[in-house]
Amino acid sequence: MDKLLAPEVGLIFWTVVTFLCLVWVMKKIAWGPIIEAIEEREGKMRSELEGAQTARGEAEKIRAQLEQQVAGLQTMQREMLAQATKEGEALRAKLKADAEADAQRVREKTMAELSEEKDKLTRELRKEVAGLSVMAAERLMRKTVDDGVQKSVLEGFFHDLESRKAN
Partner 1 sequence: MNFEEILAHHLLDHPIASWMIGGVDLGPTKDVVILWIVSALTVAIFGFAARSRTRVALMMRYGIEAVVVYTRREVHIIFHEDADTYLHYFLTLFFFILIANLFGLLPEGASVTGNINVTAALAFCTFALINFAGVKKQGLLSYIKHIVPSGLPFWLVPILFPIEIMGLFAKCIALCIRIFANMVAGHAVSLAFLSLIFIFAASSKFVGVAVAPVSVGMALFAYTLDVLVALLQAYIFTVLTALFVGAAVHPH
Give me the residues that bind partner 1 (CB under 8 A), please. Answer: 1, 3-5, 7-16, 18-23, 25-27, 29-31, 33-35, 37-38
Our measurement of the distance from residue 50's CA atom to the centroid of its chain's CA atoms, rounded to an integer in Å, reads 47
Alpha-carbon gap, residue 51 to 59, rounded angstroms = 12
Q: At what angle do helices 32-141 and 147-166 cross, to 10 degrees?
A: 140
Smaller CB separation from partner 1, 20 or 129: 20
- CB 37 to partner 1: min, Å: 8
Smaller CB separation from partner 1, 20 or 161: 20
Alpha-carbon gap, residue 161 to 153, rounded angstroms = 12
Q: Between the CA of residue 43 and those of 34, 40, 55, what are the distances in Å? A: 14, 5, 18
- CB 45 to partner 1: min, Å: 12
Long-range contacts of 130-136 (CB under 8 A, 24+ apart): 130/154, 130/157, 130/158
Smaller CB separation from partner 1, 25 or 145: 25
- CB 48 to partner 1: min, Å: 18
Smaller CB separation from partner 1, 35 or 76: 35
- CB 19 to partner 1: min, Å: 6
